[in-house]
Chains A and B, each alone.
Chain A
Amino acid sequence: MRTSFGERMLDLVVSGFLWGIRVAIVLAIIIGTIVTLSKGVYTSEQWIGFIVFGIAQGAIYALIALGYTMVYGILRMINFAHGDIFMTGAFGAYFVATWLNTIGFVDKNPALGLIIPILFAMILAAAIAMLVERIAYRPLRNAPRLVPLISAIGASFFLEYAFRGFFGPGKYAYPPLKALDGGWTIMNVEIQKVQVLVVAAAAIMMAILYFVVMYTKVGKAMRAVSENQDTAALMGIDVNRIIVSTFALGAAMAGAAGVLFSLVYRQIDFFMGFTPGIKAFTAAVLGGIGNIPGAMVGGLVLGVFESIGPSLFLEGLGIPRPYQLKDVIAYTMLVMILLFRPSGILGERLSKKKA
């Protein structure tokens, strides 16, 4: 260690600056929160409402984030086309759901009318993700890390503009399910049925995924490949097959998220995957990329903060029109997590070798 006095001073200044940022942001949040709460603009029911909206949004982020994190865990690669896989799922479900609606099937079997489009979206998204993997990623498996990243961005544009070419730039409206109209009132808080459905469906899906990864042969193989590809291959694991199934599983989650998203927000267009994709990537990093429970936690945390943040601390700081700054909260959180815990909320178990 031959550090000169100047270098040490520089280190000191830099770390002092970073600490300054941390302290400033934390202080801003605390002050804003105190001011807002002391003003008492919102009732406690409204606060619970914010949290409920946030959980529903966060569950969708979490489902998409799983795909990012699984692919990263195995290939150390950010699959930027993942947001568009989400979009393909929504489109697929839209066509099936519209068809089922016109033949009157949904009115007779509301449950199947919900499940069939979800299953179709999962299968379609998985198929497209497998194609993307085969065409855009596998030939570049041994190339330097940046190359598949660029290829992923290309795949993302390709999917977006292919769908625009097929279905036009206009908007489609996902047919609403009559069975999901209305809501329940629990402790004075009205909760929409559709929000309950989103959270429940996301929880079930994540439980299934967790089971697959932890307790099945494929899952065991996935974990082995993620530890070390070469050793896994020596143990008789077909690495290619495992990578493809990882893509398929992640994409199926994204496809399902696409349907849940369309059920809540109705609008479907070729560009709908972009923003949720970026947010889900943020969620994955937030939770610790490569870590499956981390993606779930990251998604929920991000959703809740985005929903509650503008009114909780931005308003208290006297910032006008705080909802325009929703994205600022999301990305500031990302910066904070990277400063405080570079490996993410649940990122501890990620060994240095992998990161």
Chain B
Amino acid sequence: MNKRLFALLSLLVIASMALTACGGATTAAPAATEPAAATEVAPATEAAGAAYECTDALGCVKIAADEPLHMAFWGVLSGADSSLGEDSKRGVEIAIDDKGGKLLGHNILLTTEDALCTPEGGATAASKLATDTSIVALVGSTCSDETVGGIAAITQAGLTTISPSNTRPALTDPNRGPDYAGYLRTAHSDAFQGKAVAEFAYNFLGVRKAATIHDGSAYAQALQQVFADNFKELGGEIVAQEAVAKDATDMKPVLTTIAAKQPEFIYYPVFVAVGGYITAQVRDVPGLEDVKLAGSDGIFSPDFLKASGPNVEGVYLSSPDFSAFTGDYAGFLKKHEAKYGGSTLSTFHAHAYDAANIIFAAIEKVAVVEADGTIYIPRQALRDAIYATKDFPGITGNLSCSPSGDCGAPVIAVYQVMSADPASWNPSDPTNPNPKKVWP
């Protein structure tokens, strides 16, 4: 390409960016990381005639009267772990339905992007969404690995995302760095989950010797470590911390190694495939016939029962406590049943529903509505409004966001699988739940 053509093209690109960004007004290019104070939080209707001038540090999204309000969902929607993302996506869709599909008189448009449950997939999905200047805010991602890969692109584009299901502790660490300025979550941090499982094992089951297995993923590695640290602090002994490859199928050798250390309790917070292989094979290994087994929210799914077979009866699974949900969870399940049929696919649908509603509430707070129906949404103000969420009445509890992005109400419960039949999966059934809550 010759130089003059290139210059012309870049000029065109810049011009079109300026035009779409803020109605041709005075906006500077989004300057990302520095959380400059929002200057314009003037809600409600402006006087007719005077065009709104965007002075937000990150720019504004302009939505003309006939245009939809554009939201996005990013997370794993294909592959072995797709039930996790699909489940959360449904939560967002139900939240949109509850608004009648409209916010401030604009239809809500939801774009979805598959992030494949890997850092690379997260990076690809995030950069794709970050280039779309019509997007107001996002819900996602589903796997912690996706956020690690993609969050920089989202924050730098001036966007804000709320994850319904990332549980890796580091993501909302106070020292998480400027790339995470646009990141919040309604899911609990595994710092709580690993601790809860350790307390459950030590106090409720009364076991003193535990072993852990992880699959090398960011989620499993961090979670089993939190568990191990807390279990040791309580006075227990960690006899083995093993790991397997994500595509391993024969678990008997690693289980034999663990059996040689004679644990009373094995904790494997992994995903469905590996979790299924371990559960199916563990009873065949001499010395592990009676060992107690526990996993976490990554395998809190009917797919896990399918993959494990009859041995799954009696396995403990930690998860957010559905019975501690203060909002109308039963009503949500009814809407879910009516819209999709069948029970929920995974754990985090209610968290996704709450994430979407927090965003809607923040948009309503900061949006500037013109007389002709055009609305402007200042990005930094929106981000600040989301962080300022306090005592928001969600399904999962009364949610308040911390300055480091934790909005969740971390109430963890431990459930026990009562039946190996995947069709019987319904943790919130009042009479005959499977799995059934056993602690606390």
Contacts and interface: CB of A to CB of B under 8 A. Distances in A.
A133 to B, nearest CB: 28
A306 B249 CA distance: 12
Contact of A315 (B257, B280, B284): B257
A171 interface: yes
Contacts of B253: 50, 53-54, 306-308, 310-311, 323, 326
Nearest to B254: A323
Interface in B232-266: 241-245, 247-250, 252-254, 256-257, 259-260
Given A321-B241, A324-B243, A171 B249 contact: no
A238 interface: no
A46 interface: yes
Contacts of B284: 183, 190, 192
A44 interface: no
A10 B216 CA distance: 41
Interface stretch (B26-34, B52-60, B126-134, B301-309): B301-309
Grouping DSSP codes into helix (H, G, I), strand (E, B) and loop, the B interface class, with mixed when no group exceeds half, is helix
A323 B303 contact: no
Contact of A53 (B83, B250, B277): B250
Contacts of A45: 286
A173 B125 CA distance: 31
B249 A275 contact: yes
Interface stretch (A134-142, A265-273, A290-298): A265-273
Contacts, number: 102
Given A46-B256, A171-B306, A266 B280 contact: yes
Q: How large is the interface on A (under 10, 10 to 19, 20 to 34, 35 or more residues)?
A: 35 or more
A23 B244 CA distance: 28
Nearest to A190: B286
A306 B247 CA distance: 14
B341 to A, nearest CB: 16
B250 A307 contact: yes
A324 B245 contact: yes
A115 to B, nearest CB: 22
A50 B256 CA distance: 8
B77 to A, nearest CB: 9
Given A53-B252, A324-B243, A326-B245, A41 B260 contact: yes
Given A41-B260, A267-B273, A171 B280 contact: no
Contact of B307 (A41, A43, A173): A173
Contacts of A275: 247, 249
B394 interface: no
A323 B309 contact: no
A87 B411 CA distance: 42
A321 B306 CA distance: 28
Nearest to B82: A169
A327 interface: yes
A308 B79 CA distance: 31
B273 A171 contact: yes
Nearest to B248: A326
Nearest to A320: B241
Interface string B71-99: 00000001110110000000000000000
Given A265-B277, A275-B249, A323-B243, 15 more contacts: A57-B250, A169-B78, A170-B82, A170-B303, A171-B272, A171-B303, A172-B306, A173-B307, A265-B249, A311-B257, A321-B242, A323-B244, A323-B254, A326-B244, A326-B253
Query: 7 tightest A-B contacts by CB?
Result: A321-B243, A323-B254, A53-B252, A324-B243, A173-B306, A307-B253, A275-B247
Interface of A: 41-43, 45-46, 49-50, 53-54, 57, 169-173, 176, 183, 190, 192, 265-267, 269, 271, 274-276, 306-308, 310-311, 315, 320-321, 323-324, 326-327
13 contacts: A41-B260, A53-B253, A53-B256, A169-B80, A171-B306, A172-B306, A190-B284, A266-B307, A266-B308, A275-B247, A310-B257, A311-B256, A321-B241
